[in-house]
C-alpha cells in the first residue's frame, strides 16, 4: 500500500495540495492526471524523496522503483549494471560477492559470508536477474551489443529506455513512472502496455498519451481542487464521471444560491415589520444553507481551430521518385505520391527512421538525393517544428509577437485568441523568453491559427502538451478543411485526425491510404 497522510505542498504561493489523504492499493494501476502545473511531477518527486512536502507524510513499500529522470546519473556504469541497480539490495550483494571471488580469499569467515550473500541472491531472484534484464532491454529496443556499453556512450533516447528497464526490473512492490512513453516508438509502447498489464503491484504513472492511460489503468488519480481524487476506471472513464459529478455539484450550488437569494429578499422586506420571528428563522436557514465558495477546477482545455481563408488547388503536392539518406544509410528510395486537398497524413516510424528528415524535405529545408517534390498552386504552408526553442523571437510580449503575423488584426482579437489558448488576462503580456515548452507549442499553434494556412506540417506537435491540449489539437486537426502532414507517436492524433499513413521502416516509405486503425490491423503499430 502507498499512503499519503495530510500532505500539503505549495510553490510560490500557489497551492498544489492541501491536507491530502489518499491510499493506492496493490494490484491497481493508477494514472496520475491533471493539467501542466497541477503538481503531478512534484508528487512523484515527493514519493522519491527528492522533494519534501510542506506538511504530512508518505508511506511506500520497501521495494518501490522510480523512473529516474536524471539520465546522466549512471554514465560510468554499463547498460546491464544500470538495469540491475533497479534492485539495490540485489546489486549490492552481487557487487560484494564478485569482489570476494576476485580477492581469492578462501577463509572460513569469507565462506560464511558468501553463504549469507547467496541466500540474499536467492531471495531476490538473483540467479535469473541477467536473463530478466536482457528480456526487458530487448523489449524496449536495446540490442544485445549494447549490454556492456557504458551509459555515457549511449544516445539520450537509448538512455531513456535503459532507465525504464531499470524501473521495471526486479518485480518491485510498487512502480512510479513519470512519462514512461517519452521517446518510445509505437511498437515499444505496445510492448510496455502488455508488460504493465501483467504487473500485480501498485503502479502510478504520469503520461500525456491518452491511449496509453486508457489501455493500462484500472484507476485514475486526478489532481484537482487542491486534492487528489481517485476515480474507478481509465482516463476516459474519469473524464465522464468527473463531468457528471461537477455538473451535480454546480447544480446544487446554484439551487442553494437561488434559495438564499429568496430568503434574503424576505429578510430585507420584513426586518422592520411584525414578522420578526419569521425573519429570524430565515436568517438561521441562510446560515445553514450557506454553500461557501465553490472550488474552481484547474482543468482547462484550449480551443484549437484552424480556418482556411484561401483554398489551395486540388493538387497539393506531387512527389516523384523521391530518395533520401545520409552517407551509406538510405532512409527511403523511389517514393511516389500524390496528395489531394483536404487529406490528413500521419507520418510514423521508429526513432531514427527519418520522420523529421521527411518533414524537412516537405518544408524544402533539405534537398533529396534524387527525385522531386512539388507543391501545388496557391498552397500556403504553416509549420510547427519539433525543435521550437528558437522558433519564437525573444524580447517581445507574446501578444506583440503574435500580432506581428497579422498587423491588420485588432489587438483585442489577438488577445481573445490567446485567451482561447489559455493565455488569459495578464498572461498575454508574458515575455516570449520566459515561456515553458508547453506554452511555446501553444503559441506556435496560435500562429498557425492567426495566419490561416491551407496546408499544415507538424513535427511531433504533442511534445510538452497535456492531455486536454492534445485532445483539443486532435479535434482541431480533424475539423480542418486544409491538408495536414503530422509526424507523431501520439495515437490519439493519429486515430482521430489522420486518414492516410506514411510509414518509414528499414529503408522503405510506405503509403497506406486509410485510417490509422486499419493500418494497425494490417501492419501492426509501426
Residue 517 to residue 61: CA distance in whole angstroms: 40
pTM for the model stands at 0.78
Confidence of residue 59 (pLDDT cuts 50, 70, 90): very high
User: Which of 23-37, 40-54, 204-218, 253-267 has the least mean pLDDT?
Assistant: 253-267
Give the chain's mean pLDDT: 89
Asked if residue 13 has pLDDT above 80, the reply is no
Axis-axis angle for helices 129-139, 156-168 (nearest 10): 130
Per-residue pLDDT averaged across 335-363, rounded?
94
* Tens-place pLDDT, residues 384-440: 999 888 889 999 999 999 999 998 888 888 999 999 998 988 888 899 998 888 899
Map grid coordinates 490567446 to a residue.
Answer: 418
Q: What is the mean pLDDT of residues 13-30?
A: 90
The percentage of residues in the chain with a pLDDT greater than 70, rounded to a whole number, is 93
Fold of 315-392+435-523: Rossmann fold (3.40.50)
Q: What pLDDT, on a 0 to 100 scale, did the predictor assign at position 298?
A: 62
Helix (H, G, I), strand (E, B) or coil at 116: helix
Dihedral pair phi/psi, residue 88, rounded to 5°: -60, -40
What is the mean predicted confidence (pLDDT) over 14-28?
90
Domain covering 2-237, topology: Rossmann fold (3.40.50)
Mean pLDDT of 11-22: 84
**446, pLDDT greater than 90:** yes
**What does DSSP assign to residue 297?**
P
**Overall average pLDDT of the 236-251 stretch:** 74
First vs last C-alpha separation in the chain: 37
Q: Which residues pair with 8 in a beta bridge?
A: 55
Instruction: Say which residues have a Cβ less than 8 Å from residue 4's Cβ, sequence separation at least 6.
Output: 20, 21, 22, 23, 56, 57, 58, 228
Residue 302 clears pLDDT 70, i.e. is over it: yes
Region 248-252 average pLDDT: 62
Average pLDDT over residues 61-82: 92
Residue 370's pLDDT band (cuts 50, 70, 90): very high
For CA atoms 305, 296, 54, 219, the dihedral sign is negative
Which has the higher per-residue pLDDT, 36 or 374? Answer: 374
Question: Is the pLDDT reported for residue 246 higher than 60?
Answer: no
pLDDT at 280: 75
Helix (H) or strand (E) holding 495: helix 491-497
pLDDT at 289: 62
Condensed to tens digits (0 to 9), the pLDDT of residues 106-146 reads: 788 888 999 999 999 999 999 999 999 999 999 999 999 99
Return the pLDDT at 216.
Answer: 96
Closest CA to 40 of 62, 67, 70: 67
Residue 205 has pLDDT above 70, yes or no: yes
Is pLDDT of 182 > 90?
Answer: no
Residue 12 has pLDDT above 80, yes or no: no
17 near 224, Cβ under 8 Å?
Answer: no
- Compute the distance between CA of residue 415 and CA of residue 450 in angstroms, rounded to an integer: 11
The stretch 65-86 carries a mean pLDDT of 92
Of 204, 175, 221, the C-alpha closest to 66 is 175
For residues 58 and 4, the answer to whether their CB atoms sit within 8 Å is yes
Alpha helices in 198-346 (DSSP H): 210-216, 235-270, 276-289
pLDDT of the residue at 69: 83
What is the predicted pLDDT for the residue at 144? 94
Please state the rounded mean pLDDT for residues 211-229.
91
- pLDDT bin (cut points 50, 70, 90) of residue 243 is confident
Task: Determine how many CB atoms are found less than 10 A away from the CB of residue 284.
Answer: 10
The pLDDT assigned to 104 comes to 78
Checking if the pLDDT of 164 tops 90, the result is yes
Query: Given this model, what pLDDT does residue 16 score?
Result: 86
Give dist(CA 27, CA 294) in Å, integer: 35
Amino acid at each position: 500500500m502507498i499512503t499519503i497522510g495530510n500532505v500539503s505542498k505549495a510553490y510560490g504561493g500557489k497551492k498544489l495540495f492541501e491536507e491530502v489523504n489518499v491510499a493506492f492499493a496493490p494490484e491497481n494501476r493508477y494514472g496520475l492526471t491533471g493539467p501542466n502545473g497541477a503538481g503531478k511531477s512534484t508528487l512523484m518527486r515527493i514519493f522519491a524523496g527528492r522533494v519534501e512536502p510542506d506538511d504530512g507524510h508518505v508511506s511506500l513499500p520497501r521495494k518501490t522503483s522510480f523512473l529516474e529522470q536524471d539520465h546522466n546519473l549512471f554514465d560510468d556504469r554499463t547498460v546491464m549494471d544500470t538495469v540491475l541497480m533497479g534492485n539495490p539490495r540485489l546489486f549490492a550483494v552481487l557487487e560484494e560477492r564478485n569482489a570476494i571471488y576476485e580477492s581469492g580469499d578462501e577463509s572460513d569467515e569469507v565462506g560464511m559470508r558468501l553463504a549469507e550473500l547467496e541466500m540474499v541472491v536467492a531471495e531476490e531472484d538473483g540467479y535469473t536477474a541477467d536473463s530478466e534484464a536482457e528480456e526487458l532491454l530487448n523489449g524496449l529496443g536495446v540490442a544485445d551489443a549494447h549490454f556492456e556499453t557504458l551509459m555515457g556512450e549511449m544516445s539520450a533516447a537509448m538512455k531513456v529506455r535503459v532507465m525504464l528497464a531499470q524501473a521495471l526490473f526486479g518485480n518491485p512492490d510498487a512502480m512510479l513512472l513519470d512519462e514512461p512513453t517519452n521517446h518510445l516508438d509505437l511498437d515499444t509502447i505496445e510492448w510496455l502496455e502488455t508488460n504493465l498489464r501483467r504487473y500485480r503491484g501498485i503502479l502510478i504513472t504520469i503520461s500525456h498519451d491518452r491511449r496509453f492511460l486508457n489501455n493500462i489503468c484500472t484507476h485514475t488519480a486526478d489532481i484537482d481542487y487542491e486534492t487528489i481524487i481517485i476515480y474507478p476506471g481509465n482516463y476516459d472513464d474519469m473524464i465522464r464521471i468527473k463531468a457528471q459529478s461537477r455538473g451535480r455539484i454546480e447544480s446544487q450550488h446554484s439551487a442553494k444560491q437561488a434559495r438564499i437569494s429568496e430568503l434574503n429578499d424576505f429578510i430585507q422586506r420584513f426586518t422592520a415589520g411584525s414578522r420578526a420571528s419569521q425573519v429570524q428563522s430565515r436568517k438561521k436557514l441562510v446560515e445553514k444553507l450557506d454553500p461557501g465558495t465553490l472550488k474552481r477546477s484547474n482543468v482547462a482545455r484550449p480551443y484549437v481551430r484552424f480556418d482556411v481563408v484561401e483554398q489551395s488547388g486540388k493538387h497539393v503536392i506531387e512527389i516523384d521518385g523521391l530518395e533520401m539518406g545520409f552517407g551509406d544509410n538510405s532512409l527511403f528510395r523511389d517514393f511516389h505520391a500524390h496528395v489531394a486537398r483536404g487529406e490528413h497524413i500521419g507520418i510514423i516510424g521508429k526513432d531514427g527512421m527519418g520522420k523529421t528528415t521527411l518533414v524537412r524535405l516537405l518544408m524544402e529545408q533539405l534537398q533529396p538525393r534524387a527525385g522531386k517534390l512539388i507543391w501545388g498552386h496557391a498552397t500556403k504552408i504553416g509549420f510547427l517544428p519539433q525543435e521550437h526553442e528558437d522558433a519564437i523571437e525573444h524580447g517581445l510580449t507574446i501578444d506583440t509577437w503574435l500580432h506581428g503575423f497579422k498587423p491588420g488584426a485588432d489587438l483585442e482579437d489577438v488577445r481573445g485568441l490567446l485567451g482561447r489558448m489559455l493565455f488569459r488576462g495578464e498572461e498575454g503580456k508574458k515575455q516570449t523568453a520566459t515561456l515553458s515548452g508547453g506554452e511555446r507549442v501553444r503559441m506556435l499553434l496560435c500562429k498557425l491559427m492567426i495566419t490561416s494556412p491551407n496546408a499544415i506540417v507538424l513535427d511531433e506537435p504533442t511534445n510538452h502538451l497535456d492531455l486536454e491540449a492534445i485532445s483539443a489539437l486532435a479535434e482541431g486537426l480533424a475539423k480542418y478543411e486544409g491538408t495536414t502532414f503530422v509526424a507523431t507517436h501520439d495515437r490519439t492524433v493519429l486515430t482521430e485526425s489522420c486518414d492516410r499513413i506514411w510509414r518509414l521502416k528499414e529503408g522503405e516509405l510506405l503509403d497506406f491510404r486509410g485510417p490509422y486503425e486499419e493500418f494497425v490491423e494490417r501492419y501492426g503499430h509501426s
